[in-house]
Chains A and B, each alone.
Chain A
Amino acid sequence: GQNIDQPTEMTATEGAIVQINCTYQTSGFNGLFWYQQHAGEAPTFLSYNVLDGLEEKGRFSSFLSRSKGYSYLLLKELQMKDSASYLCAAFYNDYKLSFGAGTTVTVRA
């Protein structure tokens, strides 16, 4: 599979902003997914980027740069319920969806 790199852990304070970076291999790349997974629960879809730029959905935004093989997920106005693992996944031409190992975000009061 393709290597997808994202930080293992991040900690931030309630109300703050956190940016989770993700890098991927660009050869055969189609699009970039972000999923959220709370402990003991199913991963749930957050966003899908195909074109360069920033897409905003409420407190969460996702950015993609196809030429740099780079994406980030921006979480604003952090709430305790945002404590979860965030999975970056890149989709490639051969129907391959490669996941990163996930970034565990801990929100402190």
Chain B
Amino acid sequence: ETGVTQTPRHLVMGMTNKKSLKCEQHLGHNAMYWYKQSAKKPLELMFVYSLEERVENNSVPSRFSPECPNSSHLFLHLHTLQPEDSALYLCASSQVRGANEKLFFGSGTQLSVL
């Protein structure tokens, strides 16, 4: 138990669907992250929120839309996805956004786009 909870664990969606991934952290952290993990590839940082403000957006397509309503919750809204978006989506948090801050990860949402 890392203190970061992601739902759902698995998601299958068609290319025309709209769905949302949810992340909740119970650690009192101020920074939250979305990562994409594809097989045999490095983790790709998608978005960073610090104190509920988006501070980083790594050229992610607009079909992915993050939302951070408060410091404990993070969402990733999905619409009109492509099959190549199939991957494990990991949420993480850290005390603050900084150099020596270790990340606490959730178990991820395994997404399959048909």
Contacts and interface: CB of A to CB of B under 8 A. Distances in A.
Interface of A: 1, 4, 8, 30-31, 33, 35, 40-45, 48, 50, 87, 89, 91, 95, 97-102
Interface stretch (B13-21, B36-44, B65-73, B74-82): B36-44
A100 B42 contact: yes
Contact of B4 (A1, A42, A99): A42
Nearest to A87: B43
B107 A8 contact: no
Interface in B93-111: 97-100, 102-108
Contact of B43 (A44, A48, A95, A99): A99
A11 B103 CA distance: 27
A40 B107 contact: yes
Interface of B: 2, 4, 40-43, 45, 56, 90, 97-100, 102-108
B42 A95 contact: no
B42 A91 contact: no
A1 B100 CA distance: 18
Contacts of A40: 107
Given A8-B40, A99-B42, A45 B102 contact: yes
